[in-house]
Amino acid sequence: MKFLIIFLFSFNIFASYPYFKFDEKKLKLNKDAHNRYIRPQLKNIKAEYYLIAKKLSPIHASIIKLRESALKFIFDYNAKFTECEQQQKEQAYCEVDVSSLLNSSYEVDKNIQTLRKESIHRDFLKDDNIAGYMSFTKHLDDVEVLNSQIQRYLELKKIVNSTVYTTYTPLFTDLSNTVIRFNIVINFVFIDLIPETLQDTFEALLIHFIAPLEERMINNYSPKWFILELGKLNLTWNTYHMNLEKGSKEFPEQYIKIVKLMHNRWNSILKLIF
């Protein structure tokens, strides 16, 4: 534990350098380092990002639950999509078991209804967040519509799988555009109830740092992608860190220590691989 604390807090090598040159061949990035240290630290950064959101807007506890259930569906769909593509190299139509996808979609629906009830019974409407609340309700409606479209297709797919009617249904891969839109709008729902003056800062980190790392380095291991995108990720992180710690008067001072902890975690990852 003492070693970990020293490792996290004893350096600030990259804090002032949004882009930096490096020899890719010298980076110490491997599967073992990813499993033992990099992935846990990225998960902690994400958890602390969620924690700040919940402190800024208590309803984010339910929004986070919805987003996580949506992510589970999206990542499961991506895995099934890859399986389907492999099948379609040898046959026109793929047959994948969609039961787990349906269950994930039903869980999303359950979390949408929970969030609706909570948003109705809480007093969110204030002079400074009316626009955000209206955007939130619209985007939540969009998520529900998209999830319903996904459910209808999956329920049909489950019925016709392994029957002659499979050839008369849309391809499984055709669902991808709906899933992509679903993924985009779920992030809008997350941002809408963040205080308006902080929305741009939180959205930039979610879209350009948290979300790609979730897909590529938390749910998977994509070292080539990580190395290629490291400069952009570092720029995005440093912008978020500087905006909240030194640039935003609206960000509550008591939460800056969480941002500093996140900053030290990110720098600890960089130190590990350089």
pLDDT for the residue numbered 5:
40
In this predicted structure, which of 38-42, 111-115, 223-227, 244-248 has the lowest mean pLDDT? 244-248
Cα–Cα distance for residue pair 7/38, rounded to 1 Å: 13
DSSP 17-46: -SS----GGG----HHHIIIIIHHHHHHHH
pLDDT (tens digit, 9 = 90+) per residue, 122-166?
666 666 778 899 999 999 999 999 999 999 999 998 888 877 667
Cα–Cα distance for residue pair 32/29, rounded to 1 Å: 8
Q: Indicate the domain borders of the chain.
A: 27-57+196-274, 58-193
pLDDT (tens digit, 9 = 90+) per residue, 74-100?
999 999 999 988 888 887 778 889 999
pLDDT for the residue numbered 14:
43
pLDDT (tens digit, 9 = 90+) per residue, 43-67?
999 999 999 999 999 999 999 999 9
Whether pLDDT at 34 is above 60: yes
> pTM score, two decimals?
0.88
Cα–Cα distance for residue pair 95/87, rounded to 1 Å: 8
